Amino acid sequence: MPVKQITVSMALLAMLVAGGPVAPAVADIAGDPLMAQSWHLNGDGPMGIASAWERTTGGEVVVAVLDSGADLRHPDLAANLWTNPGEIPGNGVDDDADGYVDDVHGADVVNRDGDPSDDNGHGTHVAGIIGARRDNGIGSSGVAGRVRLMPVKVLDARAAGDAEDVAAGLRYAVAHGARIVNVSLAGPRPSRPLRDAVEAARRAGVLVVAAAGNDGRALDDAPSYPVSLPAANVLGVAAARRDGGLVAGSNYGAAAELAAPGEDILSTARGGWYELRSGTSVAAPMVTGAAALIASAAPALDYRGLVSALTMSAQTTSLPSGTRRLDAGAAVGLAASGAAAAAVARDAAGAPAGRVVLGRAARVRSGGSAKRLGRVLRAARLRPVEQRRIRRRDAVPHLFDRIDVEVERLRERGLGEPRGDADAQAAGRQLQQREPLILVHRIEHRGKRGGRFGTAESHQAVDDAPQR
């Protein structure tokens, strides 16, 4: 059904929901003509974006999008694409010796070439949420309207892939200077290459924002990867509706620390178009875009500071497992004030007295009662939901020997002053002095491959071809 290339009204959006097309907006209209239809960007209510934009709309922060690629010619994306400084366009030579010929704007890990063009559409939509160009008279805007998008194609035309390609894409992004990596995909099992790539990103100070997945499950009971990896630099995101509740099918749990808008999100589509999608795949890039705003406002922050700003500023909700709502404005303000950096410095200087420092996996020899364990957990300053999560990991909670505790991120993000009564603090100090925590290796997940990976969203498809 043809649509005139003028403004896009609510009637046209209704057509899109029903499967009809939305035409690209013409470029001579001031501002971004689809902003009114981008509910997540209207005011501070959905995610605090208005306050964030008062401070910054982004900058030269490099954000990698590990996905199905991107429409490199989309008029709302082209101006914000990252350019590889070590590559000479079109000469047929791998100038920077990274294994990809002419990878000018990113790489295609699936086909092993330098053209990350999108043959599915998922990656184009995700990229637009993060960084569609702001105030260019076209379409809408990304959360960070000024950013450098590095598309890395790790999913094929069916939006499917494997852990090894995701790991290779992550290594590429880190090697080429990405500060933030968006991973709007999920798989049933981890793999050693993926874990190693995430760890390498952590050592490089890179934040990985991961979709929680759309299976409608508790991640504590049915982990999904990479969101469930016990890594301090992985920040999981659930999808929220307009009314603040969870989007139907969104996974949830302690690994999904934040919730962000994930229902009927308008963003870029292949061929210069725009479309609506829902799910955690579209919620994760909200957080990624917010992290890019923080990084532009506070360039010295690494993943620890970014996570601190995002989680310390998040709003309390009634969502499962204590998941909190993204507040981009408060996060940017926190980073700009130096509070996030101060929290990281406080942790780096050593934990306060009474705080039990836990690594990714720890062996606790409590030798006592469940009551004593409760005191220790409180002294460790874990939230009640995190305490319950730890207790569920063993049938005899006060005698559990090895706990796969995904709390390194808690140690590194700064949680304020210790909580709990004096007795709990004394118990924590006693445990540290007499029965120290012994760090042990993580419980390995066996298997040569990490299973098939796929996207984490539902798609309201545009069936008709664009009408020019």
Torsion 80-84-87-92 (CA) sign: negative
Same domain, residue pair 268 and 416: no
> Hey, what amino acid is at 437?
L
**Residues 279 and 262: beta-carbon distance below 8 Å:** yes
Task: Examine the domain organization and report whether 143 and 283 are in the same domain.
Answer: yes
Would residue 73 count as lying in a domain?
yes
Residues 96 and 50 in one domain: yes
Identify the pLDDT of residue 339: 67
Cα separation, 26 vs 42, in Å, equals 21
Beta 180-183 vs 207-211: how paired, if at all?
Answer: parallel
Report the pLDDT value the prediction gives residue 397, as an integer from 0 to 100.
30
In this predicted structure, the answer to whether residue 100 has a pLDDT above a threshold of 90 is yes
Over residues 40-63, the mean pLDDT reads 95
Q: What is the pLDDT of residue 189?
A: 85
Instruction: Look up the CATH number of the domain holding residue 25.
Output: 3.40.50.200
Proportion of the chain above pLDDT 70, given as a percent: 66
Last residue of a domain, which of 314, 345, 376?
Answer: 345
Spatial strand order of the sheet with 402-403 comes to 402-403, 362-363, 438-439
Q: Quick one: 356 and 253 in the same domain?
A: no
Residue 418 has pLDDT above 50, yes or no: no
Tokens, residue 17: 């929901």
CA distance 63 to 123: 13
Answer with the residue of higher pLDDT: 327 or 357.
327
Residue (of 191, 198, 252) closest to 360 by Cα position: 198
- Neighbouring residues of 63: CB distance < 8 A, sequence distance ≥ 6: 130, 131, 144, 147, 148, 149, 150, 178, 179, 180, 181, 182, 288, 289, 292
Residue 458 lies in a domain: no
**How much is the average pLDDT of 281-297?**
98
pLDDT at 452: 65
The band of 322, judged by pLDDT with boundaries at 50, 70 and 90, is confident
- Contact in structure between 5 and 23 (CB atoms under 8 Å): yes
pLDDT given at position 374: 53
Same domain, 181 and 260: yes
Give just the sign of the alpha carbon dihedral 13, 19, 25, 31. positive
Residue ranges of alpha helices (H) inside 107-187 are 122-131, 163-175
Which residues are known to be catalytic? 67, 122, 281
Token digits for 326? Answer: 């993204």
**Any domain includes 180:** yes
Q: pLDDT higher for 345 or 278?
A: 278
Residues 29 and 68 in one domain: yes
SS3 of 241-286: the string is CCCCCECCCCCECCCCCEEEECCCEEEEECCCEEEEEECHHHHHHH
108 and 185 fall within a common domain? yes
Let me know whether 355 and 311 are in one domain: no
Judged by average pLDDT, the poorest of 219-233, 258-272, 390-404, 452-466 is 390-404
User: Residue 5 falls within a domain, yes or no?
Assistant: no
Amino acid at 212: A
* Alpha-carbon span 67 to 175, nearest angstrom: 17
Give the residue carrying structure tokens 């404005």: 329
Query: Residue 421: CB partners within 8 Å, gap ≥ 6?
Result: none
Say if strands 273-278 and 265-269 run parallel, antiparallel, or are unpaired. antiparallel
Is 305 in contact with 341 (CB distance < 8 Å)? yes
Summarize pLDDT for 28-43 with one digit per residue, the tens.
334 899 999 999 999 9
- Please state, in angstroms and rounded to a whole number, the distance separating the CA atoms of residues 354 and 429: 5
Give the range of the structural domain holding residue 365, as residue numbers without chain letter: 350-439
CB 175 within 8 A of CB 106: no
When divided into structural domains, the chain yields a total of: 2
- 278-292, 409-423, 438-452: least confident range: 438-452
Q: Which element (helix H / strand E) includes 390?
A: helix 384-392
Domain end (from 321, 345, 369): 345
**Exposed / middle / buried, residue 421 (Cβ in 10 Å: 0-12, 13-18, 19+):** exposed
In the predicted model, what is the mean pLDDT of residues 435-456?
Answer: 37
Q: Do residues 167 and 269 share a domain?
A: yes
Q: How far apart are the first and last CA of the chain?
A: 12
Residue range 447-459: mean pLDDT, rounded: 53
Instruction: Pull the structure tokens for residue 21.
Output: 């097309």
Q: State the Cα–Cα distance between residues 165 and 183, nearest whole angstrom.
A: 12
d(CA 345, CA 420): 23
pLDDT value at position 301? 93
Average pLDDT, the chain: 76
What is residue 345's predicted lDDT score, i.e. its pLDDT? 62
Which residues, 6+ apart, have CB-to-CB distance to 11 below 8 Å?
A: none
> 164 and 283, same structural domain?
yes
